[in-house]
Structures are given as structure tokens and as C-alpha cells.
Amino acid sequence: MNSLSSQICGSLSHFVAKNTALRLVSRPDIGHKGTNDRRTLPVTDPATTPDSTWKLTLELPLEVTSAFEELLYAQGDDPIPTIATFEIPERPEVWTFEAYYVNRPAEDRVRQALGFLCDMYQLDMPAFVIEEVEQRDWVAESQKILKPVKTNRFFIHGSHDADKVPADRIALQIEAGQAFGTGQHGTTHGCLRAIEDIAEQGQPHNILDLGTGSGVLALAMAKIWDSPVTASDIDPIATETTIENAEINHVKLAASAEDKTGVFALTADGFDDPELAGRGPFDLIVANILAGPLIELAPEMARHLTADGRLVLSGLLDHQQERVLDAYRAQGFSLEKEYALGEWRALTLKRV
């Protein structure tokens, strides 16, 4: 356990001990690190949908969002709140934090948890809003929002658009859900374009999708290349979602780490995981995460890429591009091609 985890666990134990009205609740395996938007849409079941939903909204530094999530879970609400965190592009120092409740959360308990968080990290008390959310059929809402995404080779769609697949496109059915990546986001779209361009130049022999999310990029690569694809994510829900999406899209799954065919979905905390490292070296690594982790991972990326390999990096904004490139230039890489979709960027790099 790292020092931050130890600090959080120790502090939470103290928090619970001091507040006898609270009980520590196991945290669900919902990951938020290394993504651009992992918002989870509530599932609507007419038989079980509550009469109302309440939303707590505030802004926090990314590095403390997991700690605040733990503090809210420790308050013992039944059912526990659903958490969503997502980036504010124009203000990268803070993220929006949302918690959805069946019952209205008590303001004094929210302030209590925030006060403890602020004491622990020497933060000013942030403003927060508690509001009732209109009841909706979230599945229908997601279908309205998630229109099909078409690139030169691919057609990414939900099940509601399965009848609209053009004959000249490779179809991938990806539903809105718990893991990031439906093809809608500019970063995912940029990666798909980069993959298409690389495909014009040949076939990689060993591929890694680092931070796979829904698995959309891993599955896209498995559709166009008959090469092993490792789909890795720190979040076990992402791994499960990738497996489900592979089955939906009739993509072969590797039976084990030793199986060098199909897609191997792996829950791993980066290249420190021996199972992930053992699948390398890779001649194509696609990483659609965030600028900060991309910069930190530059030495490891270089170490696990073959001499003639390529990197596709995304999850960065236009103003972050030079910092990311500087980190990879220091490892002997140069920019091969840039893909711009609004303020988002995807980059293809090769060794100098």
C-alpha cells in the first residue's frame, strides 16, 4: 500500500472512530484515475427507480477526489451514492465531483466530511450544491446523446443504431456505461484516426492499449490486425467491460497471458505489473489517458516499446501538447503526426 493510501486509510479509521454515527463501507470498484470523463449514467429500472434523486456537486483537486469518495462512503448511506468525476478543460487544477443519492444528503454531514478532508490536505472549504435531479430514463437519454461515430474505417454505435451500419465500415457496438470510451470523445476519435493511418503502413506484431476503458481501441485494432492485443486498465470494471464488449463484437479473447492470439484484458497498475510487462515488448502502444500520466510514463513507454515501434498518445489538450512532447523527446521520440479535434489532441510518435 502506498503512502497516500495508508494516509487515507489511517485517517478514515480515525474519522469513523470519532464519529460513532458513521460506519465504514466497502468502496465499489469504480475507478476515476487516468480518464477524461468516467461519468456513470444511473440505470433506470421502472420497478426499482426511486421517486427522487439528489445530486451533490462541488469542485476538488483531482488528487483528493478518491479520499473524499471514501469519506462519503464511510457515512453509511444506504444505498451508497454513485460517484462521478470529470475534468474541467479550462481549469485543469480542479475536477468536478458529483455524488448521486436516493435520499437528500444532510448538509451538516457533507460539511463534516469536507471539513475532515480540508484538514487532512490543508484545503479551503469548497462551496457545494445539493439539488434534486429530474427523473429520467437514462438509457434513452444516453441513446439520444451517443450518435454513431464514423471514421474512414470504423462505425462506432450503440445497439439502438445497429441497423445503420454502412456496408463499407467496420462496426463496433459500444454502449454507454461505467467505463470511459464510446468513440464520442475527441481523444478516442483521434486515436481511431491514428490507428487507421498506421494500418496503411503495415501490421504491428504485438499491441498494447494502455488505459483501455471500454476496450473500444483494443477491439478496433483487433478488428483490423491479426495480432495479439493487450487491453490493460487500472480499473477492474474497465477490464470486465472490455471482455463484455469483445463478446458483443465477436472479437476473440485470449485464454491466458501465455495465449498470443486475440485480446487479453488485464487489470494492472501500469508496467510495474509483471503480467503486463511480460506481454511486451510492444511495437505499438496506444495510451488514451491524461497528460500528467503520459508524462510520468514516458521512460516506461520507451523501455517497453521495440526499436521500430510507434506510440499513439491521447487524452491531452492543445496547451498540454508541448509538455507531453518534451517528455518523449527526452526519451528519443519525435512527432510523426498530430490529430486535432477541437481542443483535444492525439499524437503519433516514433523513435528518432
Cell of 189: 476519435
Q: How far apart are CA 116 and CA 126, in angstroms?
A: 12
Residue 318 assigned ligand-binding role = no
CA dihedral 304, 309, 314, 317 (to 10 degrees): 100
Residue 233 assigned ligand-binding role = yes
Grouping H, G, I as helix, E, B as strand and the rest as coil, residue 148 is coil
Q: With beta carbons less than 8 A apart as the criterion, state whether 157 and 171 touch.
A: yes
In sequence order, the 6+-apart residues with CB closer than 8 A to the CB of 345 are 190, 314, 316, 317, 318, 320, 321, 338, 339
Grouping H, G, I as helix, E, B as strand and the rest as coil, residue 147 is coil
Residue 215 CA neighbour count, 13 Å, CB half: 35
Neighbours of 167 (CB within 10 A): 6
In sequence order, the 6+-apart residues with CB closer than 8 A to the CB of 320 are 92, 291, 345
Q: How far apart are CA 343 and CA 162, in angstroms?
A: 30
Residue 118 CA neighbour count, 13 Å, CB half: 12
Cell of 143: 441513446
Q: How far apart are CA 99 and CA 55, in angstroms?
A: 6
Element (H, E) at 193: helix 186-199
Residue 288 assigned ligand-binding role = yes
Distances in Å between the alpha carbon of 51 and those of 46, 47, 332?
Answer: 10, 11, 58
Q: How far apart are CA 75 and CA 106, in angstroms?
A: 11
φ, ψ of residue 63 to 5 degrees: the values are: -70, -15
Residue 283 assigned ligand-binding role = no
Q: How far apart are CA 210 and CA 276, in angstroms?
A: 10
Indicate the annotated binding residues for S-adenosyl-L-methionine.
Answer: 188, 211, 233, 288
Indicate the annotated binding residues.
Answer: 188, 211, 233, 288
